[in-house]
Amino acid sequence: MYRSSLRILLLVALGVALVIGAVSVPRASAYVLANGCDEYDPATGTTYRCNPSRTDFYTPDGVDPATVWVGTNYPGEYVGYAAARKGPKFVVCCDGGAIPPPAPYRAGRDYCSNPWFGNSPYESRWQYTCYRHDVCYGSQLGRKYCDVQFWHNMIADCKGFGWYNPDRYACFIDAGVWYLGARWGGASHYKPRTSSTQPAGE
């Protein structure tokens, strides 16, 4: 009798522990891998790989953001502006004229020109990041540099969602689409600012 009571008590305790565990532990939508930096999204089978300095994920086209410096453009791409940073307020451009400082960021304006193939529910989260990308282009800091920083900042915005939140990885996917949109289609927008009303937003 003592043994059967003990067995029943243990089974009840085990059942309660399983129920509590199932209710209180959120289901993981993805996993941070053993190195503490790479992340795996089982919903899409995608692994986001960290760079060697563990400061960033590689871009979708395999670039390590830590190796792209101010002034870096894409290989083989003609850029008509050879900019050099000259102090915190302005940049001197190719003809010796100063690029005006950018307009300040204004909350509530739309700074994101989303690619035709990439409407995203995370656009509102990326407004300041889009503004910074526009400022980078207008300051002629290097188109590749600006695009890689765009990726870095979008991913940082997406990481505002916890690893257990499926939005984190949906946001990563959309960030990849937007990064590639800037990478492939941004050349015509890479121009120096002409006034301090830019970027204006909508």
Beta partners for 84? 92
Residue 152 or 18, more confident: 152
Q: How far is CA 6 from the centre of its chain?
A: 55
Residue 26 or 159, more confident: 159
Q: How confident is the model at residue 113 (pLDDT cuts 50, 70, 90)?
A: confident
The residue to which tokens 């509102």 are assigned: 124
Residue 114 or 56, more confident: 56
Residue 31 or 66, more confident: 66
Query: And the tokens for 33?
Result: 């891998």
How many other CB atoms are found less than 10 A from the CB of residue 161?
Answer: 18
Q: Which residues contact 60 (CB under 8 A, 6 or more apart)?
A: 151, 176, 179, 180
Q: What is the mean pLDDT of residues 124-138?
A: 96
Lowest mean pLDDT among 115-129, 155-169, 186-200: 115-129
Q: What is the mean pLDDT of residues 131-143?
A: 96
Which residue type sits at 33? Answer: L
The whole-number pLDDT of residue 93 equals: 55
Q: How far is CA 190 from the centre of its chain?
A: 20
* 45-63: pLDDT as tens digits: 899 999 999 999 999 999 9
Which residue type sits at 92? Answer: V
Q: Where exactly are the structural domains of the chain?
A: 29-189
Q: What is the mean pLDDT of residues 169-192?
A: 94
Q: What is the mean pLDDT of residues 90-118?
A: 78
The whole-number pLDDT of residue 115 equals: 66
